[in-house]
Structure 1
């Protein structure tokens, strides 16, 4: 997947970016929970996973 597209998705729709980058797993569950609690930690987590 193109990194630029994943970064844009990580900012706009963090769980989708994590899903496309890592698939279904614990990282996706953590990101969904972070997005439910607050949106910004979900974005930071998604960016960290995409750029790692």
Structure 2
């Protein structure tokens, strides 16, 4: 399942974070980061997935 989350984090970062933590604070932070710039959102998503 982690492979699916990491692939989702690379192609659609908010989806990867949602699959890991749900609709919490980290999801909304990632959504804003992804809308501003895609690359920071991707890094944040991979960090959130790797942290847990």
TM-score bucket of the superposed structures, by smaller chain? over 0.9
Name which structure has the greater RCO, CA cutoff 8 Å, separation 6+: 1
Q: Which runs of 5+ in 1 are unaligned?
A: none
Aligned-residue CA RMSD (Å)? 0.5
Q: Is 1:6 aligned to 2:5, yes or no?
A: yes
TM-score normalised to structure 2 length: 0.94
Gaps of 5+ in 2: none
Shift >6 Å, 4+ stretches: none
Task: Quote how far apart the aligned CAs of 1:41 are.
Answer: 0.1
| Number of positions where the alignment pairs a residue of Structure 1 with one of Structure 2 | 51
Question: What SS does the corresponding residue of 2:23 show, helix, strand or coil?
Answer: coil
Specify the alignment match of 2:48 in structure 1.
49
The residue number in structure 1 matching 2:17 is 18
